[in-house]
Structure 1
Amino acid sequence: MTAQQTNTPAELDSDALHLLVGPNVDYYLSRWKAERKISFNWGAFLFIFFWMGYRKIYGGVAGILAVYLLIDVLAAIMRFDADPIEYCLTIAFGILLGFRGTSLYRWVVLRKLRHLETRTAPDELLEAADRRRASWTGVVIVWVMMLVYTGLFHQIGRL
């Protein structure tokens, strides 16, 4: 375990962290403080993109969609059906996020918290954390990202 993965109890109990996580803070804190490192997150498993969007893990969504787009481009160039590959990848991503999503979210939240602490005045920290909390706005952003991907997918299919 590296120094970056360890947390002081103050980090997990800070008001800013509670605001960043939002209404499910008790669920996540109980998982993050547990001795066992792996737990299963059904929301992350079943709703990969929307779970990541709600938790504002946009880089993960963009990365997965980029992989799908790359496969679609290769399928159009090489004339093969990409659907079976993408179905298998979706299942694999779901299983991976089911088992590791909670720890990924912990890493993202602590990274955001450290970023806020270094770039925000102490009296503005709670307000800044509240603006960056998990929200349904992230789901809408992911939905738009998926619409853009779908549009690109259909354009690639016409090649």
Structure 2
Amino acid sequence: MMVCTSCGVERSTEAALVCQQCGNAHFQANYKSGVMGGTLHADSVPYEHGEQLALFVGEKKKKYYFKKWDKEADKRKLTWNWAAYFLSIFWFGYRKMYKHIAIILSIVVALDIVTLLLDIGNLAVNRGIAFGGAAVIGIMANSLYKKHAEKKISEINATYSNKEQQHMALKKAGGTSWGGVGIALLAFIGYLGVFFVLATAAGRL
């Protein structure tokens, strides 16, 4: 039987990252994760990967994300992220996931081209695309963030052999950034410029 090291309550599963009773984060040697990819029920990884994941996420939100990832592992389904749903690319910027911003805006531009060429860009269609896209982001965000964190951890471990250097690099690469929000804003302004050009060329402005 595995118990929480903080409150003593029996853990729901051996792979649980967070105590469901007190919220204490577990970094046991049996913490299971696909740090190189996969799900939380993949092969077990050493102690330091759980600690590294916590360092990457940041002290303030590690319990929130560990609990979400626990649910995804136990129920084998995705969880919901309200911040990502409402803030979209700005949430990705805040979490320093810049490649995802580029992918999302590229998809949006592609959809704009299709709707402009087919002349179906009315209000109802635009709203449907917007809400549908936001819902997909809300559903996928936690899983995408975990994969992003795992990839960064793998890259940093391959670059640095010293544990202190690894921890410093993890804190720098992870956490949050208001500068990242600014990058997302600039990317969005750039998208508006592209849309203006496309809409003008299609005679929609």
Bin of the TM-score, shorter chain as denominator length: 0.7 to 0.9
Whichever residue aligns with residue 118 of structure 1, its letter is A
- The Cα shift of 1:78 comes to 4.6
Partner of 1:25: 62
Distance 1:81 1:156, change over 3 A: same
Could you say which structure has the larger radius of gyration? 2
Provide TM-score, normalisation by structure 1.
0.83
Provide TM-score, normalisation by structure 2.
0.66
For residues 88 and 30 of structure 1, the distance between their equivalents in structure 2, rounded to whole angstroms, comes to 31
- The Cα shift of 1:21 comes to 0.8
Whichever residue aligns with residue 26 of structure 1, its letter is K
- After superposition, the CA RMSD in angstroms is 2.4
Gaps of 5+ in 2: 1-33
For 1:51-107, what per-residue CA distance to the aligned partner results, in whole angstroms no more than 9, with x for missing partners?
A: 111122222221121122123334444544265444323222222222232122111
Distance 1:92 1:148, change over 3 A: same
Gaps of 5+ in 1: none
| Residue correspondence of structure 1 range 43-82 to structure 2 within 5 A | 43-81=83-121
Greater per-residue helix proportion:
1
Whichever residue aligns with residue 95 of structure 2, its letter is R
The number of aligned residues is 157
- More displaced stretch, 4-13 vs 52-61: 4-13
Could you say which structure has the greater relative contact order, defined with CA pairs below 8 angstroms and 6 or more residues apart? Answer: 1
Distance 1:96 1:53, change over 3 A: same
CA contact (8 A) 1:19 1:126 kept: yes
- More displaced stretch, 27-36 vs 83-92: 83-92
CA contact (8 A) 2:93 2:183 kept: yes
Identity %: 24
For 1:137-159, what per-residue CA distance to the aligned partner results, in whole angstroms no more than 9, with x for missing partners?
A: 21111111001001111122221
Distance 1:99 1:72, change over 3 A: closer
Distance 1:36 1:154, change over 3 A: same
Partner of 2:37: 4
- More displaced stretch, 16-25 vs 31-40: 31-40
Distance 1:82 1:125, change over 3 A: farther
- The Cα shift of 1:12 comes to 5.2
